Amino acid sequence: MTGFADLGLSPKILKALEKTTLKQPTPIQAEAIPHIMRGADLMGLAQTGTGKTAAFGLPLLHRLLDIGHPPGPKNVRALILAPTRELTTQIKDNLEIFTKGTPVKVTMVVGGASLFKQAQALSKGTDVLVATPGRLIDLLERGDVSLEKCGYLVLDEADHMLDMGFIHSLRKIAKHIPLKRQTLLFSATMPKDIEEIAETYLRNPVRVQVAPPGKPVERIVQGVHYIPNGDKAKLLEEYLKKHPGEQALVFGRTKHGSEKLAKLLAAWGFKVGSIHGNKSQNQRDRTLTEFRSGELDVLVATDVAARGIDIPTVRHVYNYDLPNVPENYVHRIGRTARAGAEGTAVAFCSPAEMGELQAIEKVMKKPIPVIGGAPWAADVVAAAPKPGQNRGQRPGRPGGQKPGAKPPVPGAKRAGGAKPQGSQRPQGGKPGGGSFAPRRSAGGGQGNRRPG
């Protein structure tokens, strides 16, 4: 088996690695590092949680160590772009571990933090700048940073950057970087737009792919529960109660809906926090710190948490709302089963979300096992409110209840004896959480799998 020492990395980096949990290179690391160290442009395809940060970070740091003198004022030697603050923070934290005991300096700039302090941090220059596109453009326009001597460009989670509309920002930033550079692109999926970016910004790139796009983590036991929108909050409560003391990540579609759901769960006695785009960077960092330390059992989040958050203690992922982008489902559930652990992922599917579910299953090339309810009939799907309409997703008011009222128990009759939306309620709708614990056999979970 190939070890990090066999890849030709600097002794200083190998010494720093000895103090980490990284003992053997993952497949993406073993394949990508030699190409990067010889200076080739590279397009790396690998799912979340496979060690992409070390795959580009270790050889990049190795090459920077050879320079031997500090960068000039405001200069940047290597630029790493990532789509979210959380992913940017994680990359920076990992690189600082790898550079311990070396003169290599790592700096981070993200939105939501002091622009003045970030400009100060860049005034003396930095070896590696990890940035979100928007904040970097702010600093470039102010003249607080120069990319004229940047010899390395890394685009991490490139597909997510496209989803978030950063293609125009990327074009602006690339104009500031010399054409003579090494460019590395890492992505979990390969839509047509990513191919076009690779053709535009990479020169004769080596392509490294270690897992088919869309294939979910092997140790994650998945399931879908068909449930009317108005009953989702109560169903989530029942699932959470079946796994006390085990950390859960709950994904919502909107910032407002996620915050409302978090407040509702808190009112029901759960230790819960939330992160989304309406939170300041300090609030998001504090909540993630509390979740990592175990002070919180439940984290409700939008897709800002779908990538780049590595919390090994997360045992359960609940897709309270299914994602609009099917590939994001794979990233969401990849937040569990980290570092060799097992995990479960439950998708809640209302009639209006059948299209999203079918798109997810198409990406994964297999159906998600049904653990509650039954697929919605075509006439029920056709009658369901479409995205953007009032779909009853306000967690505090399922079924039109008054503010503060608890959602009805799934299957319970409403006022006047009416059941939820006629015959739309699937049979067998009680949560299967009791029998849906991760399998602890040597072979791990069964069902849909992908290499970890």
Domain with residue 37: its CATH number is 3.40.50.300
Residue 389 inside a domain? The answer is yes
**Tens digits of per-residue pLDDT, 177-234?**
999 999 999 987 777 778 888 888 999 999 998 865 555 566 789 999 999 999 999 9
Residue 447 inside a domain? The answer is no
Residues 189 and 144 in one domain: yes
> What percentage of the chain exceeds 90 in pLDDT?
53
Residues 203 and 234 in one domain: no
Residue 215 inside a domain? The answer is no
Residues 170 and 234 in one domain: no
Q: In this structure, what token pair is assigned to residue 447?
A: 């069902």
Residue 252 inside a domain? The answer is yes
Residues 185 and 241 in one domain: no
Residues 94 and 21 in one domain: yes
Least confident of 3-7, 271-275, 396-400: 396-400
Residues 279 and 391 in one domain: yes
Backbone φ and ψ for 162, nearest 5 degrees, come out as -65, -45
Task: Give the whole-angstrom CA distance, residue 387 versus residue 72.
Answer: 51
**Tens digits of per-residue pLDDT, 320-343?**
999 988 888 888 888 887 655 678
Task: Give me the chain's average pLDDT, please.
Answer: 82
Task: Give the whole-angstrom CA distance, residue 43 versus residue 17.
Answer: 25
Q: Which class for 25: exposed (0-12), middle (13-18), buried (19 or more C-beta within 10 A)?
A: buried
Residues 100 and 240 in one domain: no
Give me the domain span that covers residue 156: 4-209
Task: Give the whole-angstrom CA distance, residue 221 versus residue 67.
Answer: 47
Residues 70 and 155 in one domain: yes
Q: In this structure, what token pair is assigned to residue 195?
A: 């191919």
**Tens digits of per-residue pLDDT, 229-262?**
999 999 999 999 999 989 999 999 999 999 999 9
Least confident of 227-241, 256-270, 359-373: 359-373
Residues 288 and 431 in one domain: yes
Task: Give the whole-angstrom CA distance, residue 13 versus residue 1.
Answer: 20
Q: In this structure, what token pair is assigned to residue 361?
A: 């299953």
Give, in degrees to the nearest 5, the angle at Cα 371 between 452 and 438.
40
Q: In this structure, what token pair is assigned to residue 346?
A: 């439950």
Task: Give the whole-angstrom CA distance, residue 398 versus residue 392.
Answer: 6
Q: In this structure, what token pair is assigned to residue 264?
A: 């509702």
pLDDT at position 109 over 60:
yes
CA-CA-CA-CA torsion sign (423, 258, 240, 415): negative
Single out the residue in 188, 209, 230 at which a domain terminates.
Answer: 209
Residue 440 inside a domain? The answer is no
Residues 163 and 286 in one domain: no
pLDDT at position 393 over 80:
no
Single out the residue in 209, 236, 269 at which a domain terminates.
Answer: 209
Backbone φ and ψ for 34, nearest 5 degrees, come out as -60, -40
Residue 170 inside a domain? The answer is yes
Single out the residue in 168, 185, 209 at which a domain terminates.
Answer: 209
Residues 11 and 95 in one domain: yes
Nearest by Cα to 224 from 448, 388, 378: 448
CB-based contact 299:273 (threshold 8 Å): yes
pLDDT for 385 equals 80
Residues 196 and 226 in one domain: no
Residue 337 inside a domain? The answer is yes
Residue 451 inside a domain? The answer is no
Please tell me the total count of domains within the chain.
2
